[in-house]
Structures are given as structure tokens and as C-alpha cells.
Structure 1
Amino acid sequence: MTPRIFLCMWLLYSSASAMPAPQGEEATTMMPMNYNFEWNVDSEDYQNYYGQREAADNGRVEGVYYVWQPDGRLRKVEYYVDGDSGFVPTITYVDAYEPAWGTTAFDK
């Protein structure tokens, strides 16, 4: 009787292991969301002048940020990310920059 039990157990195990593994959910491809935003700090009292603007359209992100540095220069970084490009910046400086308080560097 023991060989019959062993044979039945072996057949049960063999048939169960031969069944295909359950498949997970199919991967869904989601399109990137489009967005845009802008913020800035414009405080003459505290001498803070910086901000950022960014927008995404069909997976391509473009933006710019600026900061008025303690040495009086304005640093402006324009950037984009497109597909697998990664972060691609272009950095410029404006020497002896004087903020026009009440506006942003985007306005210039």
C-alpha cells in the first residue's frame, strides 16, 4: 500500500508542477502627465530674489530657474529632459544684476 500512496503523491506533484505558472497583470503603459508651474521669491527687505518655471508636454520637460547670488550676479539655468536624455542644463550669468523688485527674472 505504501508504494501506491507514494505513486499517487508523485503523480499529483508532477501534474501540479507541470501546470503553467499564473500570469501577472499585463503591464499598462501610462503616458506622462502634462503640467506647468511657476514660483518665485521677491523680497527686497531680505534681499531674496529667486524662482523657477517648469512645464511638461508629452514627456518632454522644459524649465528655467534663477537665483540672485550674494556676489551680485544672477545665475539662470535653462534645462530640459527629453526621453533618455537626462537633465540637460544651460547655465548663464548676468554680472552686476539689479533686481527689479516686484517682477521676476522671467519678465526680462
Structure 2
Amino acid sequence: MIIFGTKGYLYQLAILTLVCGHCGNPSAHTLRKRVTKFTLFFVPLFPFSTKYATQCTFCGAEQQITKEQAEQLQAQSAGGGTPGPGQGQAPAQPYGQQNPYQH
């Protein structure tokens, strides 16, 4: 008898301040990566699905995003180090109905 199946893993990549496209509030959003792996005898072997999403911590709305968008947001959260004098946190950026990452 062969036992196989799938198992999901959820990784939190970053926490960003964005304007929610659902509720319109500037709030913290978690950037998450969900990986689904094929398992054989309860041993995860290889990933066959990877999805990225942001979730508003104010209203709970979740939006699926592409890998490229997730990498851009993660790079933005890293921000290049500590802000110098006169520099603060990056301003809130909208997301939701309009996609600011498409040209």
C-alpha cells in the first residue's frame, strides 16, 4: 500500500503598510507565500504549487499577487537599511482594484 498526498506550508515574507483596496484604510498587510508539496509516506518530496498573497490586518481581505509583485514588495520592505535623517517610513501605497505594478 502506497500512502501519498499533499501538505501546505505558509511562510510570512514581510509586513508592509499599504492602503487596502477593500476597506480603504492604510494598515499593515502581511505578505505570505503558500507552498503545496507532494508527500509520499508523509515525507514532503517536491513543491508543485506556490502562491503569493497579501492580507489586510484591518479587515482581513486577501489579494492574490504574482511572484514578481511579491518580490517587489519584499524588496520594498527590506528598504535598503536604516532611514537617515529626514527620511521616514515609505508612504502607504494603494493596491486592490487598480494594479500599480502593471505597465
Provide TM-score, normalisation by structure 1.
0.29
As a proportion of its length, which structure holds more strand? 2
Q: Which has the higher contact order (CA 8 A, sep 6+)?
A: 2
Provide TM-score, normalisation by structure 2.
0.30
Which of structures 1 and 2 has the bigger CA Rg?
Answer: 1
